Amino acid sequence: MATLQNILNTSGFKIGVELVSSRGTITQEKNQKAIHFGEQLCEQESVDWISITDNAGGYPAISPTDIGKFLQSKGKEIIIHLTCKDYNRNGLEAKAWELSSDGFSNILAITGDYPATGIKGIAKPVFDIDSIGLLYSLKQLNNGLDIGKKKEIRLNKTNFYLGAVVSNFKKNENELIPQYLKLLKKIEMGANFIINQVGYDAAKMSELIQFQKYKNLEHIHMIGNVFMLSNFTVNLFHKNRIPGVILTKPLQEKCLQEIQSNDRGKSFFLELAAKMLAIYKGLGYKGGYLGGVHNIEDYKRIMKIFASYGNDDWKEFVLELQYKQSNEFFMFEKDAVTGLTSSTLNPILLEKGKRTEHVNMNYTISKRFHKILFTKSKGLYNTGKNLCKKSNSKLNAPKWLYALEQTGKKFLFDCQDCGDCSLQEIAYLCPESQCAKNQRNGPCGGTLNTKCEVKDIDCIWARAYDRTKYNGDIWKLLEHVPVIQNHDLEGTSSWGNFWLEKDHCTN
């Protein structure tokens, strides 16, 4: 059987279909339905792979492998989704060993939605590492993880083929560009294929391909996400109940109008999905990823409509699928005739940023202070290093210095004393106190109009972007990754840990 890697490396537009695992045992009706649908999909020549979700929407569900095991021998490749919300790095590593041992080799590495309600309330989120940390870790397993302390002891290599997601339907520049910068890091960390977030705007769909070309990433397989809408999901998406998914008012109104028809909008939804596949194909995506489809009849109808289109029909569909948000920012200039983005960079991107509320005195002073204290062999670097070396304290710094650090940082950044400081990488914003998911390698995909998916605050990465833009340094944001926080340093001096080369900046 051809591997997913082989499949994506051969010519032609490929099709994957999403199966959603549900709450309950494998005998639970919804899980049985998913398996049955999966088995029927395996019989379809047009299906290239099946993807299975991991606690989708943050809700508990049976493990994707429990469903995947029933489909493994049926002749189709399986992608298992692996998210960081419910397991720490050790749990994720254990999951990875289990996947490899069970013969699953395709993983979609995702940070994940914030956990939703479980037994007796909302679950405590984990987010020990993020998608970047997960990709980094899986890459280590593929290289044969070295667990030796004094001499090299390598474990058997895994053979994971890795993918990641990008949330590209973002409204504002300070949300969109950090998403693209994070995408670059996901690729650097080993992602071979990229699936974008659900969205219904052809211009943004084309922008991702422009970005791919702009960054010479043609060797990466872009897969276009096509979510077949329904009466239920139109409202769910329009009310922003699924983080990162945008369904604008004009599209909602169009759908509501179609729902009045005799088939309750079914033909419209099927056709919309087929048209989106055609657009993705026409734009040069490697494949389409079909979600929201739950029975084989719907799948067959979509594929029949898709197959009926002529080579250039997608260009017309592009003009129909223009459901962008008001004042939406695009990285590339739009072409009014085609409805797509051109290859010309948006001049706003190249402008120096304005002094917004996020570019404040705290930032300017912190930046200067950091330079004096932490530039190797300059300023107070050697003094600090020598003081900490001599201290012999468990705090990794003299007590008075630790007290001074904590007093200042608590006041300025609401420091939580993690000991492995990321302030310098997030334009002097603390991920522990100001990011619900403690994201240290770029934003998660959940923001809505710059606001955090969880709290009513601006995303720290959008604020950090404003700050770096003000300095004319936007491409430097996220240069630092991967940051994998060392929890062993909690309650110790982060200054001392930097000078003594114990924190993530050295490791």
Interacting residues toward ligand SF4 by CB under 6 A: 409, 413, 415-418, 421-423, 430-432, 494
Q: Give whichever of 21 and 422 is closer to ligand SF4, judged by the CB atom.
A: 422
At what angle are helices 29-42 and 64-71 packed, to 10 degrees?
40
Q: Shortest approach of ligand SF4 to residue 432 CB, angstroms? A: 4
DSSP symbols for 359-371? S-HHHHHHHHHHH
Helical spans, DSSP H, in 86-230 = 89-101, 131-142, 173-188, 202-214
Q: Shortest approach of ligand SF4 to residue 378 CB, angstroms? A: 21
Q: Give whichever of 28 and 416 is closer to ligand SF4, judged by the CB atom.
A: 416
Place of tokens 């409509």: 305
Q: Give whichever of 314 and 499 is closer to ligand SF4, judged by the CB atom.
A: 499
- CA 100/CA 65 separation, integer angstroms: 11
Q: Give whichever of 346 and 433 is closer to ligand SF4, judged by the CB atom.
A: 433
Amino acid at site 146 = D
- CA 484/CA 88 separation, integer angstroms: 12
Q: Shortest approach of ligand SF4 to residue 418 CB, angstroms? A: 3
**Other C-beta atoms lying within 10 Å of the C-beta of residue 242:** 19
Q: Shortest approach of ligand SF4 to residue 312 CB, angstroms? A: 52
- Residue 243, preceding bond cis, omega within 30 degrees? no
Question: In the numeric block, which tokens belong to residue 152?
Answer: 């090299």
Residue among 229, 211, 485 at smallest CA distance from 349? 211
Q: Give whichever of 468 and 494 is closer to ligand SF4, judged by the CB atom.
A: 494
Q: Give whichever of 185 and 409 is closer to ligand SF4, judged by the CB atom.
A: 409
Q: Shortest approach of ligand SF4 to residue 262 CB, angstroms? A: 58
Q: Give whichever of 432 and 466 is closer to ligand SF4, judged by the CB atom.
A: 432
Sign of the dihedral through C-alpha 305, 309, 315, 316: negative
Q: Shortest approach of ligand SF4 to residue 496 CB, angstroms? A: 11
Q: Shortest approach of ligand SF4 to residue 433 CB, angstroms? A: 6
Q: Do 160 and 105 contact (CB within 8 A), yes or no?
A: yes
Question: In the numeric block, which tokens belong to residue 327?
Answer: 């004042």
Q: Do 234 and 266 contact (CB within 8 A), yes or no?
A: no
- CA 91/CA 80 separation, integer angstroms: 16
Q: Shortest approach of ligand SF4 to residue 416 CB, angstroms? A: 4
